[in-house]
Chain A
Amino acid sequence: MGALGASSFLSACASSASGPTTSNGSGAVTIQSNLSSPQAKAAMEKLIETFNAQGKGTASLNTIASETFRTQLPTYLTSANPPDLYTWYAGSVANDYASKNLLLDVSDVWKSLGDYPQSLRTLSTDASGKQIFVPMNNYWWGFFYRKSNFAKWGVQEPKTWTDFLALCETLKSKGIPPIGIGLGDTPWVASAWFDYLNIRINGAPFHRELLAGQQRFDDARVKAVFTRWREALPYFDPKGKAYPFQEATTALLAGKTGMFLIGTFFADAAPKDALGDLDFFRFPIIDPAVPLAEEAPTDGFFASAKTANPTGTRALLSYLSGVEAQEAYVKASSGIVLPANPRAKASDSPLVVKGKAMLNEAKELTQFFNRDSSDALQPTADTALTKFIDKPDQIDAILREWQAGAEKVFKG
């Protein structure tokens, strides 16, 4: 019965290729949104309301829990009568769907986005040269800390890896676990360490090739990443293995850890009064010869190639990429995000100004492990990285297993 139920569950997916009907012809444009946190959801609702009031078309919003959204997305896209528009990530995730001809060509929308930076245009372009993605905003990763705590401990932001290790040593001698992390339930947070060490040591191009399966995880260059990481391992908060990043955030804010490598979304879980006390520094430079790259995951929209209403969908996309909509979204959502439209004003908090400057300084932007590879490759990284943190001695075996796991994913 267990297996019976399970296999029927699996094939329910297959048979639903002719399944859910969410769009209704050339009427309203349906948006499937994974922005389910209260503020983001409210922000989206407001945007759609404004769009409908403008009379250029009608749209209806479906907000779906993000884990359900993630697992159902392939089903939505392959169904015979799919929803029109989806919130999702730029980069290889979108390109994968584009290579299967599932995404709508939105080059028309991009014609009016001439002033968008080239980096975002490249990111939104698929292998055949057409645009398939419209970015809404991006955010950054960095080592976040409380200014008041750093002042209390008498320490400063480090610039280089040596400075960083010295800072860790100082904090440890004061009895503070220097590096916070949250791997229980959110093991993917460890991938930020891998991504950053790899782009600092081997550079962004190698990182992308590795994640696309053109390089091997058991390569000596990958091992070098872990040799560096091992230098910092003694400074990790041992409790970080057991709790999720939300609790690691609480620990950081309570001064129970010194700093935390995390994306700006963590601030959603932070109380308002703590926000003003937060600051961050960029992941320390290891090899000055490697062109500076930063992680800047880009969120936005793509549309189904099978949409019954391509005109309405493109109209909605044009509206969403406009200055007005982007500013409204940034204002309404609590998150620290940078609007994709260069003319849209980001929040003028010092934190956001600093984040924007850091990204502008970078020669290359990466997306994040799963976005530069695929959600399918992410679990192989989770396994390898949590195991490394527990058993750094077994690194050779871990990398061999990682390579074997990755090959299975690439093979399909």
Chain B
Amino acid sequence: MTATISTTSVIPTRRRRRSARLSPLLVAFVLVPFTVESIWVFWPALQGFWFSLTRWDGMSPPTFVGTDNYVELAGDATFRGALVNTVIWLVLFGGLSVLGGFGMALVLQKERRWVGFYRAALFTPVVFSLVVTALVWRVFYQPDGIADTLLRAVGLEHLIRPWLADPQTALYAVILPALWRQIGYVMVLFLAGLKAIDPALHEAARMDGANAWQRLRHVTIPQLKGVNAVVLSVIVIDSLRSFDIVWSLTKGGPYHSSELLSTYMYSTAFQSLRLGYASAIAVVIFVLALAVILGYLVRAFREEA
């Protein structure tokens, strides 16, 4: 008995000693990507922080201005509007894509006839480039386009307006195509999560007399905890980096009414050529993303502990 124990414990220690020497291959696998990351991601990111403290037009050398850019941000009405729009975007785009994606996943999780077709159909928008998506939706929204024709057909022509050119509707008219795409993506994430739930749990719950709602509330949702973290990170990141669809549909206009932080950052950097100020906006976006995701992770870890 003792002998067996000692032999089994000897082998792992030997193995551990061997791995402590670190194979050069392993070192290479870690160091090469790390070096590449450092040059292309970490260093530029740090540079971004530095630029946010400067005034820079991209041509002359940057001049250090301290926190001037952040002070200006605090009093910038366009920035405030973009911040509010980004929050609206986060809530509507994020919230609805989770609800829609989860709902679709529930409906389509059971293997039935045609279910593969429906799943593929919902996932198709994800495959298209967002710029192509924007082109299609532009046709949908154009004056006398499909949206207007549909409204006329059901007798709602008084609602017709220049959807993308009306400051009241522009932001929502852009959220819709973004959602159209995101729901399919979130659905796939949830489908994967649902597949991973042990059917025995549902079986047991059914035996105990739980109805469909109770099974959803007390079995399915708690089991999806791991997927939820992924979905949350994905939608927060996707919301904050939403740029292409807005830029191709409205460029943040008319007069900043559909401006997001990302589009404002881009136009400040590459149209107004105020790269220092734009970097300050980028830093704000970074802090926002970090705050939301860290907030969730901290909570998740606390629950687990």
Contacts and interface: CB of A to CB of B under 8 A. Distances in A.
B143 A8 contact: no
Interface string B156-185: 000000111111000000000000000000
Interface string B228-258: 0000000001001100000000010111100
B45 A412 contact: no
A141 to B, nearest CB: 22
B190 interface: no
B254 A6 contact: no
A303 interface: no
A10 B285 CA distance: 14
A28 to B, nearest CB: 26
A13 B58 contact: yes
B272 A379 contact: yes
Contacts of A3: 48, 240, 282-289
Contact of A185 (B166, B251, B256, B275): B251
A15 interface: yes
Nearest to A71: B270
Interface in B253-277: 253-256, 262, 265, 267, 269-275
A387 interface: yes
Contacts of A379: 267, 271-272
Nearest to A374: B273
B162 A242 contact: yes
A383 interface: yes
B204 interface: no
A263 B144 CA distance: 26
Contact of A8 (B44, B254, B262): B44
A127 to B, nearest CB: 16
B36 to A, nearest CB: 12
Interface string B1-14: 00000000000000
Interface in A339-383: 375-376, 378-379, 382-383
B44 A2 contact: no
Contact of A6 (B167, B285, B287): B285
A74 B47 contact: no
Nearest to B50: A11
Contacts of A234: none
Given A3-B284, A6-B262, A241-B165, 16 more contacts: A2-B241, A3-B282, A3-B283, A3-B285, A11-B51, A74-B273, A77-B59, A241-B166, A242-B163, A375-B273, A379-B267, A387-B255, A390-B167, A408-B72, A408-B272, A412-B274
Interface of A: 1-8, 10-15, 71, 74-75, 77-78, 100, 102, 183-185, 187, 238-239, 241-243, 247, 375-376, 378-379, 382-384, 386-387, 390, 401, 408-409, 412
